[in-house]
Amino acid sequence: MATTTKEDQVLLQQLKAGDQQAFRALFDSYYKYLVVTCNNILGDSETARDLAQDVLADLWKRREQMEIKIALKPYLRRAVVNKTLNYIKARRLKFTEPENNAEIHPLDDSSGLQVLEQSELQNLINSAIASLPEKCRMVFTLCRLEGMSHKEIAAQLNISTKTVENQMTKALKTLKAVVGPYLERGMIWLGFLWSFFEKL
């Protein structure tokens, strides 16, 4: 993992000294990023904003004691993911088997010839992920976007690894149903797509 940059080190030193302008700079640089990271898991933008604010507020409160050895961005990302997992645990979210999901259909494309650019494909995938059922989206995001193993996810969410596997299968089938038709029409293949689908 990347170590702290010189810019990060200067910013952290300023924070430790109680520099409020440095904190504002950090807030402006990372707040939206943390909101998106949290919202990807929860699908709740209002709560995501609250949790992102909490992470940055915690950093300010602990500024004199903090010892950050890695780059600020991954450090804060991990902090907001942990904060989100704690929020999920506090809600005592239950995973039931089986989960009856709505049937997924590929998006309609009347022309049959559409070729998506990378940015359009990214938006398509983001929308597909956001449309997943709550529990399914959480498991998928923690696995494929946060790099957690099935065992780690099971432990964090207090569910079985089998449930994690089932939720991942549902998520990947949904994404394939949405994106697959465009891939079949000769659209540019993105490397990150393969990382989503290779284990299905």
- 68 lies in the same domain as 125: no
Does residue 177 share a domain with residue 124?
A: yes
In a domain, 60, yes or no: yes
In a domain, 184, yes or no: yes
Q: 99 in a domain, yes or no?
A: no
Quickly state the pLDDT bin for 131 (edges 50, 70, 90). Answer: confident
Do 87 and 123 lie in a common domain? no
Long-range pairs of 19-28 with CB within 8 A, sequence gap ≥ 24: 23/56, 23/60, 26/56, 26/59, 26/72, 27/56
pLDDT tens per residue, range 13-31: 899 899 999 999 999 999 9
Question: How confident is the model over 90-95, as a mean pLDDT?
Answer: 70
Rounded mean pLDDT, 171-178? 82
| 37 pLDDT tier (thresholds 50, 70, 90) | very high
Average pLDDT value for residue range 51-73 = 89
Q: Say yes or no to pLDDT of 187 above 70.
A: no
C-alpha–C-alpha distance, residues 42 and 49, integer Å: 11
For residue 106, tell me if it sits in a domain: no
DSSP code for 132: S
Asked whether residue 80 falls in the same domain as residue 126, the answer is: no
Q: Rg of the chain over CA atoms, in angstroms?
A: 19
Q: How confident is the model at residue 200 (pLDDT cuts 50, 70, 90)?
A: very low
| Model pTM above 0.75 | no
On whether both 82 and 156 belong to a single domain, the answer is no
Q: Is residue 98 part of a domain?
A: no
How far apart, in whole angstroms, are the C-alpha atoms of residue 51 and residue 17? 25
pLDDT of residue 82: 92
CATH code: domain of residue 138: 1.10.10.10
Domain that holds residue 27: 6-91
Structurally, how many domains does the chain consist of?
Answer: 2
Share of the chain above pLDDT 70, in %: 72
Q: Give 111-124 pLDDT, tens digit per residue.
A: 433 444 556 666 77
> Sign of the C-alpha dihedral, residues 125, 131, 137, 142?
positive
**What CATH number is associated with residue 49?**
1.10.1740.10
* 142 in the same domain as 74: no
Same structural domain for residues 70 and 127? no
Cβ contact 1:71 at 8 Å = yes
